[in-house]
A and B are shown apart, each in its own frame.
Chain A
Amino acid sequence: MKLGRVVATVVSTINAPIYDNRRLLLCDLLDDSCRRTGGYTIAIDKVDAGAGEVVLIIDEGNSARQLLDAPDAPVRAVVVGIVDELVTDGRVVISGSETR
């Protein structure tokens, strides 16, 4: 899984059926200190993540298809968690008390 920060939503009307009525989030990818790596991914939102939140993204097709219950769907990235706390090498990057 990867860490990302929600920066935008992607809106489309013409798309593969699996994307109908689903929220697509454009997320900057982050390293273990929450710095942007320069990459991004577009992921289906399963957790109602909001603007600026640090999220967990699964970027692997089989897992994505399983959790969307769609064995043949052309989908790969799904937002599956909102990060409350992040500690790297004993250093608190995101403190549990400051979110939500």
Chain B
Amino acid sequence: MQLARVIGTVVATVHYEGLDGIKFLIVQPVNRHLAPKGEPVVAADGVAMAGPGELVYVVASREASLALPEKFVPVDHAIVGIVDAVEPLEEGME
């Protein structure tokens, strides 16, 4: 699971039937200092509550579709949580 920042929304009227009602968001993966890293991807919103600007965590690959009501649909990234805080632990962070 990786952290990402929601940077946009995607609307696709024509889509695979199992994806009805699923919200798609563009997310920018970030490193642990919350700086952008890598290319943005389109992720399905598994919590149905994420919006632009929010920090979220994302699962990729097979696990992504398990975050959605229909368990076997063609998605490769899904948002599974909205981050309230990343709290550094004393010893590990520098």
A associates with B? yes
> B93 contacts which chain A residues (CB < 8 A)?
7-8
- A11 partner residues in chain B, CB cutoff 8 A: 83-87
Is A75 a contact partner of B89 (Cβ separation < 8 A)? Answer: no
- Whether B92 pairs with A52 at a CB distance below 8 angstroms is yes
The 0/1 profile, CB within 8 Å of A marked 1, for residues 1-29 of chain B is 11100000000000000000000000000
Residues of B with C-beta under 8 A to A19: 80-81
- A28 neighbours in B (Cβ, 8 Å): 32, 92
A98 to nearest B CB, angstroms?
Answer: 14
Query: In the complex, which residues of chain B have a beta carbon less than 8 angstroms from the beta carbon of A6?
Result: 89, 92
Residues of B within 8 A of A21 (CB): none
CB proximity of A34 to chain B, nearest CB, Å:
13
Residues of B within 8 A of A74 (CB): 46, 59, 63-64, 66-67, 78, 80
Residues of A contacting B: mostly:
strand
Chain A 43-60 near chain B by CB (<8 Å), digits 1 or 0:
100000011110000000
Central interface residue in B2, B61, B66, B90, by most chain A CB within 10 Å:
B66
Interface size class of B (residues with CB under 8 A): 20 to 34
The tally of residues in A whose CB lies under 8 Å from a CB in B reads: 31
Residue B49 lies at the interface, judged by CB distance under 8 Å to chain A: yes
* Interface check A26, CB cutoff 8 A: yes
Please tell me if the beta carbons of B86 and A10 are within 8 angstroms of each other in the complex. yes
Q: Are A75 and B59 in contact (CB under 8 A)?
A: yes
Q: 8 closest pairs, A vs B, by CB?
A: A52-B91, A51-B89, A15-B81, A74-B67, A7-B92, A42-B1, A51-B91, A12-B81
